[in-house]
């Protein structure tokens, strides 16, 4: 009997002249969790999309349970026991949870869709997974993390033999991550195998039986996790050793610069009486469980959400932004959490996405200068080490992490005074994270004021001067980073629950 559930042999894939996968070999045992790591653009998602029938492979063979397979589309893959939870969620947001679970396979009774059966089966699925979800909830009303958990439940519902999880915890809180791990372990005991794509080292060592590393389209490492070292993995990923995870936070915050005073919002979810002050040149962290109001707070400051009461005071001047354009005029910038939904123009080029927030700067004699825009795009590609063929490439063709680099780069082009960063390293590899941390610290040292939201506790503790903790849309407390720890942050995040 074949000991491997999945075997990938000599798999290659190119896009035009860009060879993304080069003769990949990979094996996964039944009932095993394989961690798949690599820098952004290394080919991780491309390899899994070849398995899942989204991309047609150029060369190689894929064996499932010892039998050769070549899925032509995702439906065929699902029907044969291969499921995939994508990093970027593709859901029908104006439909219910149960509609999304049964999309393409609606149960029928006398030729009519059986809504009652859908509700029963959905409820049973969530109960089995110990998840509290109302199947009749409209998807748009759910947080990103809740929608991600629904997508994971959907994969499980296909009775899959192997489930690919692409950055599954990028939007999840610690309790939700623990719940996900519990689900993975339970299914692993039943013989289900997983490919767990992640940039989070701690998770790889916590949940994976084996770990494999892709670098520049080549498989450079596959080993049992218990026999692997973190430094060894980082070296395999980036081709060099990385001495530490975070650079020295050696910025020197100045005087009080931005004050948020008694801020409450008009529409749900309501923020209640938020007050804090951020210094010029400070890196100010915002922590809290998903749904605590962190993103809503940044959006309120930036003019996306309507403020009911309270004030924003910048360098002594009272402000109330009604639109993001007004915030941008005062040199505010916002990197949003959901890059695909509201952070980029997916059908446009890297150049377009880099220049769109700053068009006035690229004009000559009143007309847009193609040369200035191309120079700006190439400047940010070089600065951010974005992996791409050229500035003409569609941003949607890049890996998630490289898309994020373009988005951050477009705001850097504006040279903002206040940078609001909502999960800025989400889906970014360890080497690129370090570069972005360095960039944040450099901007702070240059006098820029940074407010950064992160769900990763080591990150929020590793790159900030102070941390404000949100709990149930209220401010639970503010701590000096050097004087606090993970336990203290968790206690504050539960304060108003």
Whether the CB-CB separation of 404 and 385 falls below 8 Å is answered with no
Q: How many angstroms separate the CA atoms of 122 and 124, rounded?
A: 5
> Helices 430-445 and 230-238: crossing angle, nearest 10°?
90
Please give the angle made by the CA atoms of 178, 179 and 185, to the nearest 5 degrees: 90
* DSSP run (H or E) holding 295: helix 294-301
- The pLDDT value given to residue 244: 74
Query: In 3D, which of 199, 156, 272 has the Cα closest to residue 37?
Result: 199
Q: How many angstroms separate the CA atoms of 338 and 327, rounded?
A: 20
> Helices 370-384 and 400-412: crossing angle, nearest 10°?
120
The 3-state DSSP class for residue 19 equals strand
- The pLDDT value given to residue 178: 85
| Contacts of residue 495, Cβ cutoff 8 Å, sequence gap at least 6 | 469, 471, 474, 476, 477
User: Tell me, what DSSP letter sits at residue 357?
Assistant: G
CATH of 4-238 among 1.10.3210.10, 3.20.20.30, 3.40.50.720, 3.40.50.300? 3.40.50.300
> Do 4-238 and 256-493 have matching folds?
yes
Q: In the structure encoding, which two tokens stand for residue 466, read together?
A: 């102070």
pLDDT < 70 stretches in the chain? 1-2, 240-243, 497
- Residue 255 — φ and ψ, nearest 5°? -80, 165
Domains of the chain, by residue range, sit at 4-238, 256-493
Contacts 24+ apart (CB under 8 A), 94-98: 94/138, 94/139, 94/140, 95/138, 95/139, 96/135, 96/136, 96/137, 96/138, 96/139, 97/122, 97/133, 97/134, 97/135, 97/136, 97/137, 97/139, 97/142, 97/150, 98/122, 98/135, 98/136
pTM for the model: 0.69
- The answer regarding whether domain 256-493 maps to CATH 3.40.50.300 reads yes
Q: In the structure encoding, which two tokens stand for residue 478, read together?
A: 């503010």
Q: In the structure encoding, which two tokens stand for residue 242, read together?
A: 């990385």
pLDDT, tens digit, 9 for 90 and up, residues 339-380:
877 889 989 999 999 999 999 899 988 899 999 999 999 999
């Amino acid at each position: 009997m074949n000991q491997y559930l999945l075997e990938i042999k000599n798999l290659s894939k190119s896009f035009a002249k860009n060879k993304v996968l080069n003769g990949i070999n990979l094996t996964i045992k039944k009932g095993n969790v394989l961690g798949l790591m690599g820098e952004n653009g290394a080919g991780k998602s491309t390899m899994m999309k070849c398995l899942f029938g989204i991309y047609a492979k150029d060369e190689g063979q894929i064996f499932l349970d010892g039998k050769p397979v070549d899925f032509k589309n995702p439906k065929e893959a699902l029907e044969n026991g291969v499921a995939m939870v994508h990093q970027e969620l593709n859901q029908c947001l104006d439909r219910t949870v149960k509609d999304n679970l049964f999309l393409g396979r609606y149960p029928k009774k006398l030729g009519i869709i059986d809504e009652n059966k859908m509700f029963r089966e959905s409820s049973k699925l969530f109960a089995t997974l110990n998840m509290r979800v109302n199947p009749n909830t409209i998807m748009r009303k759910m947080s990103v993390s809740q929608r991600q958990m629904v997508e994971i439940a959907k994969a499980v519902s296909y009775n899959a033999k192997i489930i690919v999880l692409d950055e599954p915890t990028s939007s999840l809180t610690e309790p939700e991550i623990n719940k996900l791990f519990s689900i993975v372990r339970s299914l692993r005991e039943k013989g289900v195998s997983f490919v767990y794509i992640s940039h989070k080292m701690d998770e790889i060592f916590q949940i994976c039986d084996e770990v494999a590393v892709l670098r520049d389209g080549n498989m450079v490492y596959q080993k049992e996790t218990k026999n692997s070292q973190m430094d060894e993995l980082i070296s395999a990923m980036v081709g060099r050793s990385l001495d530490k995870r975070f650079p020295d936070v050696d910025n020197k915050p100045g005087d009080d610069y931005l004050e948020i005073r008694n801020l409450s919002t008009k529409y749900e979810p309501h923020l209640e009486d938020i007050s804090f002050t951020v210094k010029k040149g400070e890196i100010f962290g915002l922590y809290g469980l998903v749904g605590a109001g962190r993103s809503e707070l940044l959006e309120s400051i930036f003019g996306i959400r309507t403020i009911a009461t309270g004030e924003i005071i910048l360098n002594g001047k009272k402000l109330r932004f009604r639109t993001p354009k007004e915030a941008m005029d005062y040199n505010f910038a916002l990197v949003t959490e959901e890059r695909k939904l509201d952070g980029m123009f997916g059908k446009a080029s890297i150049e377009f996405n880099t220049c769109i927030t700053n068009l006035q700067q690229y004009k000559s004699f009143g007309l847009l200068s193609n040369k200035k825009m191309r120079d700006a795009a190439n400047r940010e590609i070089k600065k951010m080490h974005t992996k791409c063929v050229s500035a003409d490439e569609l941003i949607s063709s890049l890996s998630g992490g490289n898309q994020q680099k373009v988005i951050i780069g477009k705001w850097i082009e504006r040279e903002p005074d206040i940078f609001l960063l909502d999960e800025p390293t989400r889906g970014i590899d360890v080497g690129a994270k370090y570069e972005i941390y360095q960039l944040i610290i450099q901007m702070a040292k240059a006098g820029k004021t940074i407010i950064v939201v992160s769900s990763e506790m080591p990150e929020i503790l590793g790159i900030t001067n102070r941390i404000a903790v949100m709990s149930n849309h209220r401010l639970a407390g503010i701590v000096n980073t050097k004087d606090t720890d993970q336990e203290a942050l968790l206690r504050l995040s539960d304060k108003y629950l």
